[in-house]
């Protein structure tokens, strides 16, 4: 079954990167600069981290990580791009930052809660490396609250920690349930609807 599905998965990954490249280009056309490409570069770094993190050199986990990021993060690509450039868009006041950070936290909380909820039933244990990423994510989140001037950078690092964790747990859940394609189609389906929205709304197609 897995062998048969591999070609389908292999389409997802380049497609995802192409979409990001298009978004980066659209953003460049609209706002100038290389920020869109920088966001692509950063996402590739996270991709490599996902390879290393899972110790499996598993492409699936890597692009699931990206899929989570794209599907759940707020105001992409603006947030990504700002995180790469250290925040060049007009600053928002501290209370707004707090509210938006809390709202970002909500999305991570949802993703992790779902994966842990599945994990309790499937008896997936959380190892020490997972806990390190969880704590690191929490530290970056708190740093964002305490030092609003570093908001975009800390949010980027916070996202990297949590989405790596999400991708790893997601892969484990899929392995255990054996319904990989169903879970992935939903994740990627959702992701592409979101990307469609971005193309229409943010890039003004």
Partner 1 sequence: MKQGNKGILIGASILFLAVIFVLQRVIFFVNDDWWYMTNLVTEKPLAGLRDIWESQYWHYFNWGGRSVNHAVLQLVLMCGELVADIFNTILCGVIAYIICKLADAKEKAFVLLAGVFLIALNPSFYNNMFWQSGAVNYLYATCWIFCFAFLYLNALNGKMISNRSGIVIWMPILGLMTGWSCENMGPASFLFATCITVYLWKWEKKKPTVWMVEGILASLAGCLFMILAPGNYVRSDLIEQTSLVQMISIRVSSMLVATCDFLLPVFVLAIGLTLVYLFAYQKKLTRTQIAFLAYGIVAHGGMALSPTYPSRAVFGVLAIFTVYMISLLAAMAQEQKARKVITAFGSILYLVAVCQMIALIIIPPFTR
Q: From the list 1, 11, 95, 146, which residue makes contact with partner 1 (rule: CB under 8 A)?
A: 95
Q: From the list 18, 88, 149, 177, which residue makes contact with partner 1 (rule: CB under 8 A)?
A: 177
Build a one-symbol-per-residue string for 46-85: x at contacts with partner 1 by CB under 8 A, - elsewhere.
-------------------------xx-------------
Question: Which residue is listed with tokens 């993060």?
Answer: 73
Build a one-symbol-per-residue string for 108-127: x at contacts with partner 1 by CB under 8 A, - elsewhere.
-xxx-xx-xxx-xxx-----
DSSP states of the chain as a string? -HHHHHHHHHHHHHHHHHHHHHHHHHHHHHH-SSHHHHHHHHHHHHHHHHHHHHSS--HHHHHHHHHHHHHHSSSTTHHHHHHHHT--SPP--HHHHHHHHHHHHHHHHHHHHHHHHHHHHHTPPP-HHHHHHHHHHHHHHHHHHH-GGGHHHHHHHHHHHHHHHHHHHHHHHHHHHS-HHHHHHHHHHHHHHHHHHHHHHTS--
For position 142 contacting partner 1 by CB under 8 A, the verdict is no
For position 22 contacting partner 1 by CB under 8 A, the verdict is no
- Taking the complex as a whole, the smallest distance from the CB of residue 59 to partner 1 amounts, in Å, to 22
Q: From the list 5, 10, 29, 106, which residue makes contact with partner 1 (rule: CB under 8 A)?
A: 106
Instruction: Determine the interface stretch with partner 1 among 2-10, 16-24, 51-59, 91-99 (rule: CB under 8 A).
Output: 91-99
Cβ partners under 8 Å of residue 115, min gap 6: 166, 169, 170, 173
Instruction: Determine the interface stretch with partner 1 among 33-41, 52-60, 153-161, 182-190 (rule: CB under 8 A).
Output: 182-190
**List of residues contacting partner 1 (CB under 8 A):** 71-72, 95, 98-99, 102-103, 105-107, 109-111, 113-114, 116-118, 120-122, 173, 176-177, 179, 182-183, 186, 190, 193-194, 196-197, 200-201
């Amino acid at each position: 079954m897995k062998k048969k599905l591999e070609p389908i998965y292999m389409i997802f990954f380049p497609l995802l990167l192409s979409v990001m490249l298009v978004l980066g280009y659209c953003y460049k056309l609209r706002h100038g600069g290389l920020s869109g490409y920088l966001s692509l570069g950063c996402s590739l770094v996270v991709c490599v981290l996902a390879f290393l993190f899972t110790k499996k050199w598993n492409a699936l986990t890597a692009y699931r990580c990206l899929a989570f990021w794209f599907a759940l993060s707020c105001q992409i690509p603006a947030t990504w791009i700002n995180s790469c450039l250290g925040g060049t868009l007009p600053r928002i006041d501290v209370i707004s930052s707090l509210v938006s950070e809390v709202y970002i936290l909500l999305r991570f909380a949802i993703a992790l809660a779902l994966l842990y909820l599945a994990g309790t039933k499937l008896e997936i244990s959380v190892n020490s490396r997972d806990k390190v990423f969880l704590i690191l994510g929490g530290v970056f989140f708190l740093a964002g609250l305490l030092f609003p001037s570093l908001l975009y950078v800390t949010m980027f690092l916070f996202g990297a920690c949590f989405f790596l964790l999400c991708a790893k747990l997601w892969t484990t859940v899929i392995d255990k349930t054996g319904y990989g394609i169903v879970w992935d189609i939903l994740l990627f389906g959702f992701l592409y609807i979101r990307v469609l929205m971005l193309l229409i709304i943010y890039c003004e197609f």
